[in-house]
Structure 1
C-alpha cells in the first residue's frame, strides 16, 4: 500500500531519513506551503520566501529523480493550510494510511505527528552529526553540560582537525585569538547575492501579497534557494572570507552587516547544505595552507560544536525547556525591537540589519539584542518569539537553547556557566557603535549615560544571591559591593528611570 512521505520546509535534503526509508516507485512525497507555519508566528517575509522558493525547487528535483510529489502551493483552493490537514487530505486522495516522517525540529509538530489519526513512523533526523541517543549518553550523570567537552567528543568522532589522537595545532580551541575588535579599514567582502529566477520571483510576489504585514523587508532578496547555489555560497566563503573570519568573528561595525561571516546558516538549517561537508571544506582550506587554524577551528566549532550541542540540549530537555524562566523576568518586549525609535546606536543598527536581511551575526544577537533583553529583564517567551520570527535561520531546535540558555540565562546555567551580560564597555571595545551614539558609554548615571551601564549593574544587584556564589561572577559581584552606597543608589535610580520610560513606550 502507498505511504505518504512528509517533507517539511526545513528538511530539503536528498539524504532525509524519510526519503531513504521510502519506496520511490510506490510512495508519495507530501509537501505544502501552509499559513499555519508561515503565519504563526508572523515570520520575516524573507524567511518565508526562502523556504517556499527552496521547497518548490526541491520538489521539482524530487520529481526529476522519479518521485511522485503531492505539492500544495499556498494559493491552492484545496490547501488545508496546516500540515496535519494536508496529510489527511492527501491520504484520502491516495488511499494511504501510513506516513513516513523525519522528526521535526519543533515540539509542536512532533506532538502533532505522534497524535495524528494516520499511522506515523517518525524517523530520526540523520542530518545531524550527533544522534539524540549519543547526546543523551554523553550528558548522562554529568554535573554540567559544557559545550567544550561535547565539542571535543565530536572532533574525536569525526576526525575533523585531528592529527591522530591530538587536536591539530596542539590545542582544541583557539577562541583567545578570535576576539579582536574591528578596524575602520577592514576589507568587507560581501557574500554572494543570488538574483531571483522566475520561480523565486513568483514566490516573492506571493509573499508580498499575503504577508506584507509581517516585520521585515522582502526585497531585495538574494538567499541561495537550491543546493547548487548554497554550495557556491559555501565555496565563496571558504575562498574569500574564512581567512579573516576567526580573528574578527566578534567584531561589529555600523552598516557592515556581514563582515567575514559565512551567512550560510539559513541554507544549512533548511537542508541545502550538509554540516559535515562544510566542516571538511574548512579543514581542507587549513590543511592546504589557505587559512589559519584559528579561523578554520572557529568556524568548525560553530557547526561541529555549537550547532550540534544546542540541538542536543533542545532534544534532551523536551518542550518544557522553552518555558524556563529561573530569573523570573517578565518585562514586555519593547517596541524598539520592531524598529521603534531609539537613541541607542547599537540596538538601532542591529534591528535595522535584522529588518533588512532577516539576519544578524551571532555577536550582534548575543551581545546587543540578547544582552539588552537579559539586563532589562524581558520576558523570555516574548524574546524567543521575536528571534523565531525575525531570522531566516531560526527554527525552534536552534533558537530556543540560544535564547533561553545562552542569551537570557533563563535555564539557570544548564547551557552557560555564566550569564552573557555586559555593560557598554564590551560594546565599545568590540564595535564602532559608541562613537556615534548620543549616549555616553563612559558614564553610568544620568540621562545621557549609556543605558547598558546602569542596566548591567542593576541586573547584577537584582540577582546578587544567585550570582555571588558563581565562580565566574563572584569577582564582578565583589566590585559592585565595593562601590559606595551613594554610587550604587545613583546607578539603580538611573536604571529604574530608563526602564520606566521603556515600559511607558517612550523612545529611549
Structure 2
C-alpha cells in the first residue's frame, strides 16, 4: 500500500508516530513550507527561521536514510501555501492509497486535518503523538471526576509512572517538590556560563535570507540567530546545560537580571517543542546528574517538574478544554494591548528589558513571562485574546498547546481557576526582590502614589479593589483582600485614580 506520510514543522523527530511503520520502498514523506503557517499570527522572525531551517535539516536527515521526501519549499511556484493544498497536490501527484499524519499541536490544525479525508477522497489516519509522556486519553482519565485539576498531583503521577526521581515507591530525597528552595535572589558576583550558540550553516543562512525578504515586517530581530536546528545541536545544548548550568538552576531559576536573558536556564524548549529533543531524555539526563553528584536535588527536581509536570500538564489542559478554553475571560478584561508590548518603549524598566530581550532573542524565561509581562497584563485588565496572540507571536518555543494555558490560565486567570488556585498578581515589591530591574528605573518601587510611583503598585491595589468580591472567596487571596479592607479609603481612591489615568494614557 502506497502511503503519503505528512510531517508538520513541530514534528521533527525520528520517533514521530507517522513514521513508525514507514516502508522506504513505497512511501513518501511530505514536508511543506507554507505561508499560512508563517502568518496565521505574525510569528517572530527567529521563530520562522528556526522552524523552516529545522525542517530542511530534518528532510536531509530522512533522505540520508533512504526515505523519499517530497519537500515543498516556500518559493516553489506551484506552492499553494496551505497544508491542505499541499496535501491535495501530493495525493494527486503520488496517487497514494492512504495518508498518515500525527495529531497536530493546535486545535485549528486538527479541525482542518479532520476534513482531509473528505477533501482528498483518500483514507486519512491521525495518530497519537507518542513523544508526549501523557496521552490525551490518559489525561482525560486522570482529570475525570476531580474537583480541581492541580498540577502538583498530576506531576506525582507522572513521576511514578515514568520512574523519574523515585527511590522505589518514594520520591527522591523524601519530598515531591523543592520549589520553596528555588526562589533565591542571585548574588551580584554570580555569573552564569555562556550559552552555546550554533552559527548558521548554508541551509540556515538561506532561510534567514528568505525570512528577511518575505517577513521583514514581522516582530523581532533576525541578527544573531544561533538556535539549535538539528537533533545533534539540541543534544549539545542539553549536555552543556547539564554540565555547566543545571547546578545553579534550582536556587536562581526565578531570578531576573538586566542584560542577561538566559542566566542558568536550559534554553532547550525551542528544540523540545519542535521535536529535536525528547523530553524524557532531558529528564533522565538531569536525574543522572544528581545521582552522579553534578547537580543538587532542588535544581534537578525543579527542572524535571517543568518538563514531566508542567509541560505535560498544560498540554493536557489544552486538549481537555478546547475549543471553549480559547474564549475564556473570567475577569472580564477588555483593555487593548498597549503599543509598548511591541516596541519596548516604556519607563517601566522591567517591562522594557523583558520586551527588548524578547525582540532580540524570541526568548524570555518563565518568570519574566509570568511575573513581568503576564503580571502587568493581569493587573491592567488587558484583553486575553490580544495577550494570547502576543505570546504566540513573540516566542520561538510558542505553540498554542503550551502557550494558551500558560497565558489564559496562569498569567491572566482568564480560565477562572482551572489551572491556578489564585491569580498570580504581584506589586513592585516582588519584582524588586527577584530582579535588579528596579535599580535605575524611572519609577520608585517603594511608592504607590505620586508622580514616580511604580505602576505595578497602584495597579496591584486597583486590581484587588476591582475584583475584591471574587477574590474574597479565594483563601489564597484572603491576605491582600483583608489588607485592602484596612487601608485608608483616601489612599485607595488615590491609587485607583492614578491607575485610571495611567491606563487611559497607555494608548
TM-score, structure 1 as length reference:
0.98
Partner of 1:154: 158
- CA apart distance, 1:97: 4.8
CA distance in 2, matches of 1:26, 1:253: 54
Q: What displacement does 1:76 show?
A: 0.6
3-state SS of the aligned residue for 1:37? helix
CA distance in structure 1 between the aligned counterparts of 2:253 and 2:341, rounded to whole angstroms: 23
CA contact (8 A) 2:329 2:415 kept: yes
- Deviant stretches of 4+, over 3 Å: none
Task: Select which of 456, 459, 481 maps to 2:460.
Answer: 456
Residue 241 of structure 1: aligned partner = 245
Q: Distance in 2 between matches of 1:16 and 1:25?
A: 19
Question: Is 1:26–2:26 an aligned residue pair?
Answer: yes
Give the whole-Å Cα distance in 2 for the aligned partners of 1:461 and 1:28: 60
SS in 1 for 2:71: strand
Size of the alignment, in residue pairs?
A: 503
Deviation track 1:103-132 (CA, whole Å, cap 9, x = no partner) reads 000001000010121332111000001111
Offset, 1:489: 0.7
Matched, 1:401 2:405: yes
Q: 1:496 maps to which residue?
A: 500
RMSD, aligned α-carbons: 0.8
Aligned partner of 1:232 among 224, 227, 236: 236
CA contact (8 A) 2:256 2:436 kept: yes
Matches within 5 A, 1:90-489: 90-116=90-116, 117-118=119-120, 119-489=123-493
Is 2:37 aligned against 1:37? yes
- Where does structure 2 lack aligned partners over 5 or more consecutive residues? none
Q: Could you tell me how far apart the structure 2 residues matched to 1:185 and 1:135 are?
A: 44
CA–CA distance in 2 between the matches of 1:16 and 1:161? 26
Greater shift in the superposed pair: 409-418 or 184-193: 184-193
Alignment partners' CA distance in 2, 1:131 and 1:22? 22
TM-score when normalising by structure 2:
0.98
5+ residue gaps, structure 1, are none
Following superposition, the deviation at residue 21 of structure 1 comes to 3.7
Other-structure match for 2:2: 2
Q: Which digits, 9 at most, give the CA deviation of each residue in 1:375-416, with x for residues without a partner?
A: 000000100100001100000000000001010000000000
Contact residue 350 and residue 364 of structure 1 kept, 8 A? yes
By how many angstroms is 1:320 displaced? 1.5
CA contact (8 A) 2:3 2:96 kept: yes
Cα separation, 2, equivalents of 1:120 and 1:183:
56
Q: Could you tell me how far apart the structure 2 residues matched to 1:404 and 1:57 are?
A: 34
Q: Which moved more, 1:91-100 or 1:419-428?
A: 91-100
Residues 246-271 of structure 1 deviation map (CA, whole Å, 9 limit, x = unaligned)? 10000000001110000000011000
Post-superposition offset of 1:184: 1.8
